[in-house]
Amino acid sequence: MKMKKSIFTLLAALTIIFTGCGENKSIDKSPQKSNSNSIASINNSTYIKTSQNVYSQGFISNTKPHWYFDFATMKKMILCSKPNCTHNSSDCISNVIGDTPIIHGDYIYYFTSESGIKEEKEKREYYIKSSLNRCSLDSSNIEKIVEFTDCVPRDFDGCALTGNTIYFCGDDMNPTEDEYGNILSSNVGGKHYFCSIDLSTREYTNHGLIYNDKQYSAANSSSTAKVTGVYNSQVYIEYSFLKEKIPQTAYNENFDARDYFTILNFTYDLNTGELKQSELPSASFMNDDSYLYSNYPDKSSTLIYGGETFVIKGLDVEIYGRFVNKKIFMNDCWYDINDSSKHTLGKYKGWNILSFYDDSYIVSNSNCTEVVKLTEDELLSLDKD
């Protein structure tokens, strides 16, 4: 019961992976016409992504045994309710729940899947067996919610929970037979589907193929699709692929994969159920009321927030930007959109900004062995370090 009480009220979540911000210079804070419609908040929306699952009041580690870190107490606890459990065995729930467990209500939800070759007489075929499971926060008892056989969930790249429904991308694992008769598989290339599971009804739905890229020669060995977040009542899906193979001569110190990959952005409308391509570029960060993306190859980024659009000159957020409390964070600097100022992270350069909780910024080192709270004054004082 103690574990359940500690994490029962968790709501919004997302994850961050930071690198450098480069030589960023100035912000053009002049409001421009927004590319989005009026912002609508989604109640109880959660974005789960590999690395850390960061909720409004804490986060789940990505190491086994999995533990939950509480921002209020600044302490961690193992995600297991079994009495006298050592958390070292393979049947301990903290070692079973996978890389991206989802806390919702009284349970921890997690995906499992297996795939391989099934041989019957002289016939061989590739099979997939996936399931969503849940574990009670009170007892650690495990229950299977639903099984499906058409795809393997790409939950390690991100999934979204809004209301009582989990949204995710699934891969057909691209089974192909080589010249020797061996069947090979991969979660890169092949077919990518957008899927959902209603936790109330336990109904699994495959909403269909996200994009047909088969006209491009290199897509079958390069394409991926992943859920990137929820914004303005839309679930966003990033679909990337190569039209042609990258030449070996391209791999040098100036290599940037964005010069070669085609990156498409799709949305699933939570109100109408329509899946379509978005006019917005794929985001570095989003939540219910903000959307941040790079304008590459132009070295600038755009933030849509509060019904306004801000262009941040000299900053390429790529996939690493994080917007917290009206500040855009990278791994060694941050920008305040209130006064267009740029600041350093001082001794916390390279650390992750996880959340803004109880008037403090929660920051951690890359593997979350150290987590600290910084007040507004302490954050500003890092400029002097």
Per residue in 262-291, pLDDT (tens digit) is 999 999 999 999 999 999 999 999 988 999
Q: What is the pTM of this model?
A: 0.86
Mean pLDDT of 87-100: 87
Cα(329)–Cα(382) distance, integer angstroms: 14
> In this predicted structure, what is the pLDDT of residue 139?
86
Structure token pair of residue 166: 């989990």
Confidence (pLDDT) at 150: 98
Could you read off the pLDDT of 338-367 as tens digits, one per residue? 887 899 999 999 998 989 999 999 999 888
pLDDT band at 233 (very low <50, low <70, confident <90, very high): very high
SS3 assignment, position 3: helix
**Burial of 140 per CB tally in 10 Å (0-12, 13-18, 19+):** buried
- Mean predicted confidence (pLDDT) in 163-174: 95
Task: Check residue 84 and give left, alpha or beta (phi > 0: left; psi -120 to 50: alpha).
Answer: left
- In tens, the pLDDT along 11-31 reads 333 332 222 222 333 333 333
What element of type H or E holds 128?
strand 123-136
